[in-house]
Structures are given as structure tokens and as C-alpha cells.
Amino acid sequence: SQQGEEDPQALSIQEGENATMNCSYKTSINNLQWYRQNSGRGLVHLILIRSNEREKHSGRLRVTLDTSKKSSSLLITASRAADTASYFCATASNDYKLSFGAGTTVTVRA
Amino acid sequence: GAGVSQSPSNKVTEKGKDVELRCDPISGHTALYWYRQSLGQGLEFLIYFQGNSAPDKSGLPSDRFSAERTGGSVSTLTIQRTQQEDSAVYLCASSFGGRREPQHFGDGTRLSIL
């Protein structure tokens, strides 16, 4: 069953703008991960944030986690055409299974 | 190095036929996962292999679905007597195991049941 829910479902932005998407989940977690999926390809791991962390950066990516609200956000700064993809959050709880949301489709216009 | 390899990349078959999907994980990865992704949806967990432990089959949707992993490496997902609702992209992932290890995905097999 899906635990994470991404918002918005779709996002269209101009190249150079920032893109923000959110993920909400229902049960307690060990960590939360973000993945990217280009059309027709598999998922690529972007970043992992542990339940005791509040913010994490990786290049142009910034992830926040608020365990009290059971939510996370992914910010992509200075977007590029190559950032066009679907982005999924995935939560890891007490075992090895990842529970994925339905994703946010991001389109970056040139 | 080589990533996760899945074959075939596309499979079209008639309803009622059996299909086999193959996954070749990254060398050294002990954990292997199968997921199903329907159009525009997230990933649905199917089955998990970890080393020599018994696999977690709790996500398999029916007894028509089975999977094996030979020699701790290559895995095959078999769907018997395929139905139209089995049409989806089947993704395989591997990792070093554990909750904090990122999963590395193949590009999937797009299965279409006519």
C-alpha cells in the first residue's frame, strides 16, 4: 500500500526557477528517500534523510523533514531542462520495504 | 560499473500465456526487489530477496505470480495465465540491504497483455 503522497501531482516551471514538491506520510519512519524517474527509465536515488534529521542538501537539491507533521519537501533550485522527470518520495519504516507515493511530474520549460 | 539489467525491455503477449521476466542485479548486492508500476502510479512492492533468507512474498497479488533467485544473483519473475490487469511496468532493484541503503533500479520490463 502507498504511504507517501506527493503534492502537487504535476508542476510546470520555467528554466532557472525553483521547483518545490511535498510528500506526506502516515506512519512513523526510519528514513525518507527521494527518487527521480525519467520517462521510460528506472528510478534513480537522489537523497535520503533520516528521521532525526531536519534538512539535507545535495547539489541543487534541498530536502526537509518534519516528523511532527509527517511531511517532507524537495526543492530543486535553478531548474534545468534535464530536471524534467517524475519525482517520488519513499518511506522506510521498521523493515526493508520502501513505500512509494504516486509521484510529482515536473516539466521544465526552456 | 554495470547497473541493474532487466530483460526483455518490452513484452507483448496474449491473455492466458505465461511470461518470464529477468533481473540481473548489481554484483555484490545481497538484496533484490521486484515492483510493479501501473501507468501514472507509484511503485507497488511485489517480492524481496535477501541473501539466503526466505523471500518476502507478501506483495505478490495472486498465486499466478512467483519469483526465484538463483545463486543469490539473477532473479526471474514468472506470471502464469496472464490477465489484462497484469499489464504494467515491472521494475527490479538491488541494494546492499538494510533500510538506509539506496535501491538501484533497472529500466524495467513493459508488459502488455492483449
> Are B22 and B34 a contacting pair, CB within 8 Å?
no
How far does CA B17 lie from the centroid of its chain?
18
Given an 8 Å threshold on Cβ–Cβ distance, is A88 in contact with B105?
Answer: no
Q: Confidence class of residue B2 from pLDDT cuts 50, 70 and 90?
A: confident
The overall average pLDDT reported for chain B is: 93
Residue A51 has pLDDT above 70, yes or no: yes
Find residue A22's DSSP bridge partners: A7, A73
Instruction: Nearest chain A residue to B100 by CA: give it.
Output: A31
Residue A56 has pLDDT above 70, yes or no: yes
What pLDDT, on a 0 to 100 scale, did the predictor assign at position B98?
Answer: 78
What pLDDT, on a 0 to 100 scale, did the predictor assign at position A1?
Answer: 47
Residue B66 has pLDDT above 90, yes or no: yes
What pLDDT, on a 0 to 100 scale, did the predictor assign at position A73?
Answer: 97
Q: Confidence class of residue B1 from pLDDT cuts 50, 70 and 90?
A: low
Identify all chain B residues contacting A96, using CB atoms and an 8 Å cutoff: 31, 48, 50, 97-99
Specify whether the backbone of A31 is left (phi greater than 0), alpha (psi in -120 to 50) or beta. Answer: beta
What pLDDT, on a 0 to 100 scale, did the predictor assign at position B100?
Answer: 83
Q: Confidence class of residue B95 from pLDDT cuts 50, 70 and 90?
A: very high
Three-state DSSP class for residue B85: helix
Most confident of A76-90, B45-59, B94-108: A76-90
Q: What's the CA gap between B26 and B10, in Å, rounded?
A: 21
Instruction: Give the best residue of B38, B99, B103 to mutate against chain A (max A CB count within 10 A).
Output: B99
DSSP state of B71: G
Identify all chain A residues contacting B106, using CB atoms and an 8 Å cutoff: 42
Q: Confidence class of residue A3 from pLDDT cuts 50, 70 and 90?
A: low
C-alpha cell at B73: 544473483
C-alpha cell at B66: 512467483
Cα B76 to Cα A39, A75, B5, B25, B46: the distances in Å are: 24, 37, 12, 11, 13
From the list A4, A33, A96, the residue facing B48 with the nearest CB is: A96
The stretch B69-92 carries a mean pLDDT of 95
From the list B99, B102, B105, the residue facing A42 with the nearest CB is: B105
Residue B38 has pLDDT above 70, yes or no: yes
Find residue B78's DSSP bridge partners: B20, B66
Q: What's the CA gap between A42 and B106, in Å, rounded?
A: 5
Instruction: Nearest chain B residue to A45 by CA: give it.
Output: B102
What pLDDT, on a 0 to 100 scale, did the predictor assign at position B52?
Answer: 85
Q: What's the CA gap between A14 and A27, in Å, rounded?
A: 35
What pLDDT, on a 0 to 100 scale, did the predictor assign at position B70?
Answer: 86
What pLDDT, on a 0 to 100 scale, did the predictor assign at position A53?
Answer: 97
